[in-house]
């Protein structure tokens, strides 16, 4: 008997991708009884689910970020381990996106679908590397699915930041980056590049760095941004400060010494975006696969069919057709095009805001 096509057992519903025989959703947009979650970013890990299957790291991130709205019945599953839910085998495999991020491998009656969540292929010292899994259907994001998006090595971008710090020793360097993933990756890359001074954090970044630390990701000495002692005084010349991108437009940044404003995002490839945001030092650092890596990954997993969740679906599907791969746009609701683009809701930091 031929294996059933995944289309017959996985479908798109208003809540999200639903596995019918297993009776669970993957990264649902609305509260459900049983969810499998790829990673902790807010467009994937929503509040209000009952049972949640995810890596221990993702469950910890969800508990920290969602509080009361966190998983009521968490079911930790380590990378490479499997559980069977109503005959559907679920395995979590590293996605290389952020700490704990996983691809969800679903096997049912000889047919295999892989939901990759968000992923990248470039090495990241703060999370396990992406592992390609051969499958019948590969579900992929398409955030940077245009040939213009080719991310340079992140280490070179961090070198540019350090060059600017030595060029402007009297100025603080304020780097806008998201609190989950990008912030810790930048810190780890700065440490690899030899920056061993304390790194200063906006209040919104600190708790996630502590969580990474609890999972064994060493980030070196991190400190809050001090308040100026006197009116008109500024702080941290020659130092590096990481903050959510939204903080760059807030009065909070006025306490810093003549800050050079940087943003670390895949979108910094687009000069107009950097200019429109008044970013002096755009750093192209992304936690998503670029155009080449999307195509290389799809070739590597060897799936004859690819379902595209969000981003530049048309361009990717067109390119896949030229390679003999059938593409399908899922039009999932509630996905941001990228964490880089849409600010995640962050709690107001205890310190910060005023000054
Ligand atoms: Zn993500
Ligand atoms: Zn996402």
Q: Please state which CATH number belongs to domain 6-148+287-329.
A: 3.60.15.10
- pTM for this predicted structure: 0.93
Query: Ligand 1 centroid to 313 CA: how many Å?
Result: 17
Q: Which residues pair with 83 in a beta bridge?
A: 90
What percent of the chain lies above the pLDDT cut of 70?
A: 94
pLDDT tens digits, one per residue of 205-224: 999 999 999 999 999 999 99
What percent of the chain lies above the pLDDT cut of 90?
A: 84
CA 288 to chain centre: 7
Query: Ligand 2 centroid to 339 CA: how many Å?
Result: 6
Which two tokens mark 79?
A: 């990378």
Topology annotation, domain 154-283: Rossmann fold (3.40.50)
**Residue 277 confidence (pLDDT):** 86
Provide the sign of the torsion angle of the four alpha carbons 181, 183, 188, 190, taken in this order: positive
Query: Ligand 2 centroid to 125 CA: how many Å?
Result: 20
Beta pairing, strands 51-54 & 88-94: unpaired
Contact residues for 16 (Cβ-Cβ < 8 A; gap 6+): 25, 26, 27, 28, 29, 30, 332, 333, 334
Mapping DSSP to helix (H, G, I), strand (E, B) and coil, where does residue 80 land? Answer: coil
Q: How confident is the model at residue 310 (pLDDT cuts 50, 70, 90)?
A: confident
Query: Ligand 1 centroid to 224 CA: how many Å?
Result: 26
pLDDT tens digits, one per residue of 246-289: 887 788 888 999 999 999 999 999 988 888 888 999 999 999 99
Which two tokens mark 325?
A: 């791969």
CA 88 to chain centre: 27
Q: How far apart are CA 106 and CA 96, in angstroms?
A: 19
The DSSP element (H or E) to which 207 belongs, if any, is: helix 203-214
CA 20 to chain centre: 27
Q: How far apart are CA 286 and CA 253, in angstroms?
A: 24
Query: Ligand 1 centroid to 119 CA: how many Å?
Result: 8
Query: Ligand 2 centroid to 43 CA: how many Å?
Result: 6
Neighbours of ion ligand 2 (CB under 5 A): 43, 118
Residue intervals of the chain classified under CATH 3.40.50 are 154-283
Residue intervals of the chain classified under CATH 3.60.15.10 are 6-148+287-329
Q: Any idea what DSSP says for residue 253? A: G
Q: How confident is the model at residue 349 (pLDDT cuts 50, 70, 90)?
A: very low
């Amino acid at each position: 008997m031929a294996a059933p096509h995944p289309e017959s057992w996985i479908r798109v519903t208003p809540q999200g991708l639903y596995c019918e025989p297993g009776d669970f959703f993957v990264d649902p947009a609305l509260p459900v009884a049983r969810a499998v979650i790829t990673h902790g970013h807010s467009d994937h890990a929503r509040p209000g689910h009952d049972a949640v299957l995810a890596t221990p790291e993702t469950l910890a991130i969800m508990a920290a970020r969602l509080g009361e709205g966190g998983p009521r019945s968490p079911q930790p599953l380590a990378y490479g381990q499997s559980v069977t839910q109503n005959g559907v085998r679920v395995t979590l495999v590293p996605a290389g996106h952020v700490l704990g991020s996983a691809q969800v491998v679903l096997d049912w009656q000889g047919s295999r679908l892989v939901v990759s969540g968000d992923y990248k292929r470039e090495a990241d010292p703060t999370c396990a590397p992406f592992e390609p899994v051969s499958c019948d259907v590969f579900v992929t994001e398409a955030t940077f699915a245009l040939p213009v998006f080719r991310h340079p090595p992140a280490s070179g971008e961090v070198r540019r930041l350090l060059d600017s710090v030595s060029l402007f020793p009297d100025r603080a360097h304020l780097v806008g980056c998201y609190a989950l993933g990008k912030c810790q990756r930048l810190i780890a890359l700065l440490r690899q590049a030899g920056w061993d001074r304390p790194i200063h954090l906006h209040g919104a970044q600190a708790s996630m760095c502590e969580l990474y630390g609890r999972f064994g990701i060493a980030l070196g000495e991190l400190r809050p941004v001090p308040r100026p002692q006197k009116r008109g005084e500024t702080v941290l010349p020659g130092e590096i400060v990481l903050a959510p991108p939204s903080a760059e437009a807030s009065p909070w940044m006025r306490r810093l010494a003549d800050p050079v404003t940087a943003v670390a995002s895949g979108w910094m490839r687009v000069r107009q975006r950097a200019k429109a945001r008044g970013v002096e030092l755009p750093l192209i650092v992304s936690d998503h696969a670029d155009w080449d890596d999307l195509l290389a990954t799809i070739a590597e997993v060897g799936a004859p069919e690819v379902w595209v969740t969000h981003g530049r679906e048309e361009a990717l599907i067109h390119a896949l057709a030229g390679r003999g791969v059938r593409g399908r746009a899922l039009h999932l609701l509630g996905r941001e095009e990228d964490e880089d683009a849409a600010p995640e809701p962050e709690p107001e930091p205890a310190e910060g805001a005023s000054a």
